[in-house]
Chains A and B, each alone.
Chain A
Amino acid sequence: MALKIRSTSSLDNLSWIEPIGNLTDFNDLFQDLQKQAYQSVDWMKLMIPKDDKLWHLIEGSYSDVAYQSLLALFEVLSENSSTETVIPVASKEFTEGHKQRFIETIQNVIFEAGEDNAATEMMAELLVNHKEELLKLLNTLFVDNYEDTNLCVKILSLLGDYSYEELKPYSQSIALASIANKSPRIKSAALNLFAHWGNKDALRLLMEVDEPTEPWIKMKYLSIKKSLEERCSMQEK
């Protein structure tokens, strides 16, 4: 794609140009580009200017060196990018591209307790239009990587953002399979799901699994079971 730069005297009414309009320096621009790419939005469509006025704005906003680098970047990206490889999150079809992007995101993102991240955000977006496909994918991913502690814990952590009913029966199947895993980390992460659900069904399932043998997980299991019993008894009153 050839990039042309023309000057124009009228730069009024350009507030619609986002995100460049809000950027204060070149680093911000790169960070924003990366963020856009992470969200699997067709950021090339957003960022490669179709309107010459945008280029004029860029020219006026950055130093010469930065501006030339930006031009070079867009040219390289233009040559290496095609619209066929970019998959908008909100598209109607759940494609191989979606799957691949989601798997890569889960694998690469660091999960912090109670914090949102690129994977949790992507999951929330994909659940809107592709709930069944996404949950099947998570199930498959879990089974295919049952020996991969980190990945399984991440999947359990993703499921922990939703209620018992929202992801039924996939969440429950994964949680029950996790309790039987050899890894104490996976068992522990699964127990967090039961605690999070906090309902009678969660208690019923928890009562049917074997009590963990490792003392510290057993302590956690008994504590969560006791809390669920108290909670359920209060809910019945």
Chain B
Amino acid sequence: MLYARKISEDGWFYKDDNLDADSISELNVKGHGLSVWKVLNASNKIDVDKIGLALAMINPKVEEFYMVLIDPANLASDYKWAIAFIPQPGATRYSNMKDEHTNFEVKSMWELGFLTEHIHKLIQDEKNYRYYNVSDLKKMAYDAAKNGNLTKKDVDGCQWKTAIKEMEKMYGELTEFWK
């Protein structure tokens, strides 16, 4: 299984070959836990996009982002580091996906450094990361609402509600969703 982690342009992509302090800072570890999302099948676009939407919906606003896919097996082979997990539901508004969240246990500065270096290597190859633009995310939210995966309560009081309404004008009204 792979694990998805949101990464920012500023934190990772404008850098030269050196490991950048901004990149390390972005790996915000709390209680030795680094937030990641489970991707059951990375070759299945629907599975990956569900995680993409769950990650996006942590934010009340619809904003573009990049997501890197991490394989713990590679951390084990490259750094002799067998990743342990700290299970925890995700803080996403996408309630059906909360359980797809977990944490890597990152105990030391060295482990954080290994992880930063590993992600830095991963993003040198575009097959290891995905990009979601605002339009994609709005359509993904609309589709999730249409398929019954997203609830009206999930989008109350945030920009995602407006986004779904905007998509309804193009792709059809979701009468059942708003009931």
Contact = CB atoms under 8 A, between A and B. Distances in A.
Nearest to A217: B13
- Residue in B10, B13, B123 whose Cβ sees the most chain A Cβ within 10 Å: B13
A227 B133 contact: yes
Residue among B64, B133, B134 facing the most chain A CB atoms (10 A cut-off): B133
A62 to B, nearest CB: 39
Interface residues of A, number: 23
B170 A184 contact: no
Interface string B120-142: 00010010010111111001000
B9 A114 contact: no
Contacts of A214: 13
B66 interface: yes
A231 B135 contact: yes
B170 A224 contact: no
A216 B133 contact: no
A215 B64 CA distance: 17
Given A223-B133, A234-B171, A113 B123 contact: no
B137 to A, nearest CB: 10
A196 B13 CA distance: 22
A219 B63 CA distance: 16
Contacts of A184: 13-14
A224 B132 CA distance: 9
B126 A216 contact: yes
Interface string B1-33: 000000001100110000000000000000000
A216 B131 CA distance: 8
B61 interface: yes
A159 to B, nearest CB: 16
A236 to B, nearest CB: 11
A185 interface: yes
A215 B133 CA distance: 16
Contact of A235 (B63, B126, B139, B170): B170
B136 A227 contact: yes
Nearest to B134: A195
B131 A220 contact: yes
Interface of B: 9-10, 13-14, 61, 63-64, 66, 123, 126, 129, 131-136, 139, 170-171
24 contacts: A113-B63, A114-B63, A184-B13, A185-B9, A188-B9, A195-B133, A195-B134, A214-B13, A216-B13, A216-B123, A216-B126, A216-B129, A219-B131, A220-B64, A220-B131, A220-B133, A223-B132, A227-B133, A227-B136, A227-B139, A230-B139, A231-B170, A234-B170, A234-B171
Given A219-B126, A219-B129, 4 more contacts: A195-B64, A195-B135, A220-B131, A235-B170
